């Protein structure tokens, strides 16, 4: 009986098929591109007011971001919500992770009449530490 050597290239295991590995790498690349785009879209849609005072935004944890557009429509982490469903959704998110910071990103031209009800709903839920996000002015 003849012994086959893998080193000489005669054996069945001499060739390594890299196609599955390339497929996995491509899926990971697409995944990270999509996640990165979602993170950019979450912040890009609202023109923020400017302020010369305040502290820089920290990225210690993934905050709950409440967006308020100029017309008063609400978003939570970039997803549109009706005002009727808003309080329930925030309450559920806060119950799952009570230490997560909540940040309000309101459009610079949004009247305070759109922002006040959101702040009252957050207070009624029991959330006291709300951060208002602005851009650093000169």
**What's the pLDDT tens digit per position in 58-80?**
666 778 889 888 888 888 888 88
Instruction: Tell me if 59 is assigned to some domain.
Output: yes
Q: Looking at the domain assignment, is residue 53 inside a domain?
A: yes
Whether 60 and 124 map to the same domain: the answer is: yes
Q: What is residue 72's predicted lDDT score, i.e. its pLDDT?
A: 86
**In this structure, are strands 130-132 and 135-136 parallel, antiparallel, or unpaired?**
unpaired
Domain that holds residue 20: 12-42
In this prediction, residue 30 has a pLDDT band, given cuts at 50, 70 and 90, of very high
| Amino acid 77: pLDDT | 85
More confident of the two residues 85 and 4: 85
Confidence of residue 24 (pLDDT cuts 50, 70, 90): very high
- The answer on 28 and 54 residing in a single domain is no
Q: Which residues contact 70 (CB under 8 A, 6 or more apart)?
A: 107, 109, 110
């Amino acid at each position: 009986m003849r012994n086959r050597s893998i080193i000489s290239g005669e054996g069945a295991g001499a060739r390594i098929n890299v196609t599955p590995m390339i497929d996995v790498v491509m899926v990971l690349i697409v995944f990270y591109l999509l996640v990165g785009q979602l993170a950019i879209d979450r912040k890009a849609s609202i023109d923020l007011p400017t302020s010369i005072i305040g502290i820089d935004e920290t990225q210690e944890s993934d905050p709950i971001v409440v967006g308020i557009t100029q017309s008063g429509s609400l978003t939570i982490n970039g997803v549109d919500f009706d005002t009727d469903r808003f309080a329930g959704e925030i309450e559920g998110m806060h119950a799952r992770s009570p230490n997560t910071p909540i940040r309000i990103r309101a459009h610079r031209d949004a009247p305070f009449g759109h922002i006040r009800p959101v702040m009252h709903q957050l207070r009624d839920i029991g959330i006291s530490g709300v951060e208002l996000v602005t851009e650093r002015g000169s």
